[in-house]
């Protein structure tokens, strides 16, 4: 895994994990956890640790950064369709969190 | 289970010890008011049958001493100051009783009862009680190989088992003396030595308070999956959770473990809300469990490990979640089902704690490493990450052991069955039982 790939993946995982921790309901938190699980599964569980420093407080900002980081993974050999599925799962979790 | 088989053995021996005029009970003479209904030959055959059943109880006692003896330490021996050294002195009284039991079993001319003899009910109540003794002893032999032998018991549990064996030996010695007038009766070889050995072991065992939790150990029938269509309501959740506990026998990889943990967080949360009006204490316990699993889930995000499976456990966990979340607020909550669910939660918590501890110890589960650690001289054109995973022993970021100790493991040690002490007290009372005379005085 190249450093750029690792940085994008860490960014995506850390922000999704932060969304899971700040979710308003258990169901929404679980949905974010499943997004995190999908990301790890895409990489055969060979991923770097979370980086919890400097995360924004605003949940909308967390979602935007996570989405951008996940989209960046397409450039590192990850199948674009699977990335779209992860993004759809992330949107689903966000909707669940908003209700 | 040891408690069931040994309890049955004690109960039937207690019944036998309360019966004093043995000749009358097997149809012989003894009083002019009761007619003789059996011939001497009949009574001789009854005696032989009883001795075959007794042989089974003697073998149980001997096997018990063999299982416990290697790690048993007498309460009279002072423990070595170095905790890593085993006690140098063997348990003298136990070894003496073991040798005498081996001699008694070997020299007895009675064979072990056949399967037909064990399973066919006897017409005479006295012989039927002996059959029950032999059945309990035959079943109890499972327990010594399952989880009672080979140093698996702590010292108090060992002494409890030794005390139980001593009581059974003493009962057999007392009964042996009482049956001497049965035609053709063969007395126990070295019965006096057996009696003294058993007394010495019983006194030694009584120096420490007993630990009756040993009754819960021993052989258990294997649990089976509850297959078939989903049970209605809470029973369906119980069914899926039971299956999940069984599926978790397989060691899971970290991804699947995370999904199981997620399922338990969701199930605990939804059921805690549901039972809040009827069982507030249980609701509080399950809410705490939800928090435990939330913390565990956060910790496991930084744990990796591809070794293991656990797919079937994930499927059962998912079924549990879907059934628990589908329960309506007015669903019928049977207290027995709630209690069963609580037990299953405890068992699963224990299993997950075992899995994590095993994984960490064997480095099957490793800690993830943060990104900015580049290999400066990896010999490749492009610098990659130096290390992506490290063993937990080399990582100071994660401390799962504290979480496991404080939250996942139920704090209380397993409790003894409620009638454990009573069963033993009854046998001891029966050993010294004396019949009452006509004027209500005790015969000596």
Q: Which residues of B touch A49 (CB under 8 A)?
A: 302, 367-371, 397
Helix, strand, coil shares, percent, chain B, to 5? 60, 5, 40
**Test mutation, B262, B266, B301, B378, chain A, max A CBs within 10 A:** B301
Residue A61 has which token pair?
């900002």
Kindly determine whether residue B369 and residue A10, on different chains, have CB atoms separated by under 8 Å.
no
Q: Least CB-CB distance to A17: which of B259, B266, B301? A: B301
pLDDT value for B383: 56
pLDDT value for B441: 59
Nearest to B129 by CA among B371, B121, A97, B339: B121
Q: Which residues of B touch A69 (CB under 8 A)?
A: none
Residues B364 and B423 occupy one common structural domain: no
Q: Which residues of A touch B274 (CB under 8 A)?
A: none
Residue B318 has which token pair?
């998912």
Tens digit of each residue's pLDDT (9 = 90 or more) over B240-271: 999 999 999 999 999 999 999 999 999 999 99
**Test mutation, A28, A31, A42, A48, chain B, max B CBs within 10 A:** A48
Which residues of B sit within 8 Å Cβ distance of A?
Answer: 253-255, 258-259, 262, 265-266, 269-270, 290, 294, 297-298, 301-302, 304-306, 367-371, 374, 382-385, 388, 397
Which H or E run contains B303?
strand B303-304
Alpha-helical runs (H) found in B108-154: 115-119, 125-143
- Angle, CA of B110, B113 and B115, to the nearest 5°: 160
* Residue written as token pair 């309460």: B75
Quickly state the pLDDT bin for B395 (edges 50, 70, 90): low
Report which of residues B196 and B69 the model is more confident about. Answer: B196
Q: Does residue B299 sit within a domain?
A: yes
Q: Does residue B396 sit within a domain?
A: yes
* Three-class SS state of B228: coil
Determine the residue of chain A that is closest to B256 in CA distance: A37
Helix, strand, coil shares, percent, chain A, to 5? 75, 0, 25
Q: Which residues of B touch A44 (CB under 8 A)?
A: 306
Count of alpha carbons within 13 angstroms of residue B398, beta-carbon side: 29
Cβ(B269)–Cβ(A26) below 8 Å:
yes
Q: Does residue B216 sit within a domain?
A: no
Q: Does residue B218 sit within a domain?
A: no
The tally of domains found in chain A comes to 1
Q: Which residues of B touch A41 (CB under 8 A)?
A: 255
Determine the residue of chain A that is closest to B294 in CA distance: A21
Give the count of beta carbons closer than 10 Å to the beta carbon of residue B9: 28
Nearest to B423 by CA among B224, B44, B168: B168
Q: Which residues of B touch A17 (CB under 8 A)?
A: 298, 301
Region B348-354: mean pLDDT is 92
CA distance B326 to chain A (A): 13
Report which of residues B46 and B74 the model is more confident about. Answer: B46
Whether residue B17 is predicted with pLDDT greater than 80 in this model: the reply is yes
Residues B54 and B201 occupy one common structural domain: yes
Q: Does residue B369 sit within a domain?
A: yes
CA distance B263 to chain A (A): 9
Tens digit of each residue's pLDDT (9 = 90 or more) over A29-88: 999 999 999 999 999 988 888 888 889 999 999 999 999 999 999 988 889 999 999 999
pLDDT value for B89: 66
Residues B142 and B268 occupy one common structural domain: no
Cβ(B50)–Cβ(B127) below 8 Å:
yes
CA distance B322 to chain A (A): 12
Q: Least CB-CB distance to A44: which of B297, B306, B371? A: B306
Whether residue B107 is predicted with pLDDT greater than 90 in this model: the reply is yes
User: What predicted TM-score, i.e. pTM, was given to this entire model?
Assistant: 0.71
- Distance CA(B172)–CA(B13), nearest Å, equals 8
Q: Least CB-CB distance to B306: which of A30, A45, A50? A: A45
Q: Which residues of B touch A40 (CB under 8 A)?
A: 255
* Residue written as token pair 């309990």: B136
Region B2-21: mean pLDDT is 90
Kindly determine whether residue B266 and residue A27, on different chains, have CB atoms separated by under 8 Å.
yes
Determine the residue of chain B that is closest to A46 in CA distance: B304
Residue numbers of the domain that contains B95: 2-211+419-431
Q: Least CB-CB distance to A37: which of B259, B302, B305? A: B259
Q: Which residues of A touch B265 (CB under 8 A)?
A: 26, 30
Backbone angles phi, psi at A5, to 5 degrees: -65, -45
CA distance B297 to chain A (A): 9
CA distance A69 to chain B (A): 15
Cβ(B89)–Cβ(B179) below 8 Å:
no
CA distance A57 to chain B (A): 18
Alpha-helical runs (H) found in B229-334: 234-247, 254-275, 280-300, 311-325
pLDDT value for B438: 58
Q: Least CB-CB distance to A48: which of B297, B369, B382? A: B369
Determine the residue of chain B that is closest to A10 in CA distance: B371
> Using alpha carbons only, how large is chain A's radius of gyration in Å?
12
pLDDT value for B339: 93
Whether residue B129 is predicted with pLDDT greater than 80 in this model: the reply is yes
* Three-class SS state of B222: coil
Size of interface A-B (CB pairs under 8 A): 70
Kindly determine whether residue B397 and residue A3, on different chains, have CB atoms separated by under 8 Å.
no
The tally of domains found in chain B comes to 2
pLDDT value for B29: 73
Residues B184 and B317 occupy one common structural domain: no
Q: Least CB-CB distance to A30: which of B262, B302, B384? A: B262
Kindly determine whether residue B298 and residue A27, on different chains, have CB atoms separated by under 8 Å.
no
Give the count of beta carbons closer than 10 Å to the beta carbon of residue A3: 16
ipTM of the complex: 0.94
């Amino acid at each position: 895994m190249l450093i750029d790939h690792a940085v994008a993946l860490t960014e995506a995982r850390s922000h999704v994990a932060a969304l899971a921790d700040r979710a308003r309901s258990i169901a929404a938190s679980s949905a974010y956890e499943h997004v995190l699980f999908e990301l790890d599964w895409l990489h055969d569980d060979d991923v770097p640790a979370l980086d919890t420093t400097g995360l924004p407080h605003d949940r909308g900002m967390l979602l935007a950064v996570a989405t951008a980081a996940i989209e960046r993974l397409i450039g590192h050999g990850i199948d674009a369709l699977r990335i779209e599925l992860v993004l759809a799962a992330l949107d689903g979790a966000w909707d669940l969190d908003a209700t | 289970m040891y408690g069931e088989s040994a309890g049955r053995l004690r109960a039937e021996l207690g019944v036998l010890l309360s019966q004093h005029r043995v000749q009358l009970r097997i149809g012989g003479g003894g009083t002019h008011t009761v007619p003789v209904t059996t011939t001497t030959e009949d009574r001789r055959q009854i005696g032989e049958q009883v001795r075959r059943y007794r042989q089974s109880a003697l073998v149980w006692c001997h096997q018990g001493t063999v299982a416990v003896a290697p790690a048993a330490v007498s309460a009279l021996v002072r423990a070595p100051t170095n905790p890593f050294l085993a006690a140098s002195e063997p348990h003298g009284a136990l070894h003496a009783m073991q040798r005498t039991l081996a001699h008694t079993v070997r020299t007895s001319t009675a064979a072990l009862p056949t399967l037909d003899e064990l399973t066919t009910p006897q017409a005479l109540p006295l012989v039927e009680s002996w059959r029950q003794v032999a059945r309990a002893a035959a079943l109890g032999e499972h327990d010594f190989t399952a989880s009672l032998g080979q140093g698996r018991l702590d010292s108090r549990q060992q002494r409890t088992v030794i005390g139980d064996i001593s009581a059974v030996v003493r009962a057999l010695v007392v009964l042996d003396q009482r049956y001497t007038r049965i035609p053709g009766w063969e007395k126990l070889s070295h019965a006096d030595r057996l009696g003294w050995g058993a007394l010495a072991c019983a006194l030694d065992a009584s120096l420490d308070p007993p630990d009756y939790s040993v009754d819960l150990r021993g052989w258990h029938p294997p649990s089976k999956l509850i297959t078939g269509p989903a049970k209605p309501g809470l029973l369906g959740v119980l069914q899926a959770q039971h299956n999940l506990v069984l599926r978790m026998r397989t060691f899971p990889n970290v991804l699947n473990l995370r999904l199981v943990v997620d399922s338990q967080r969701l199930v605990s949360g939804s059921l805690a809300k549901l039972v809040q009006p009827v069982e507030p204490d249980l609701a509080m316990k399950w809410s705490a469990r939800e928090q435990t699993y939330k913390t565990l889930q956060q910790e496991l995000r930084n744990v990796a490990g591809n070794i293991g499976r656990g797919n079937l456990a994930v499927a059962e966990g998912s079924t549990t979640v879907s059934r628990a979340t589908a329960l309506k607020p007015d669903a019928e909550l049977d207290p027995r089902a709630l209690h069963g669910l609580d037990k299953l939660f405890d068992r699963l918590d224990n299993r997950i704690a075992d899995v994590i501890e095993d994984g960490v110890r064997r480095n099957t589960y490793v800690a993830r490493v943060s990104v900015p650690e580049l290999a400066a001289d990896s010999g490749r054109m492009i610098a990659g990450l130096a290390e992506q995973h490290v063993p937990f022993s080399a990582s100071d970021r994660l401390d799962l052991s504290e979480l496991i100790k404080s939250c996942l493991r139920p704090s209380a040690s397993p409790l003894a069955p409620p009638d454990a002490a009573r069963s033993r007290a009854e046998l001891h009372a029966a050993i010294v039982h004396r019949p009452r005379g006509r004027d209500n005085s005790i015969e000596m």
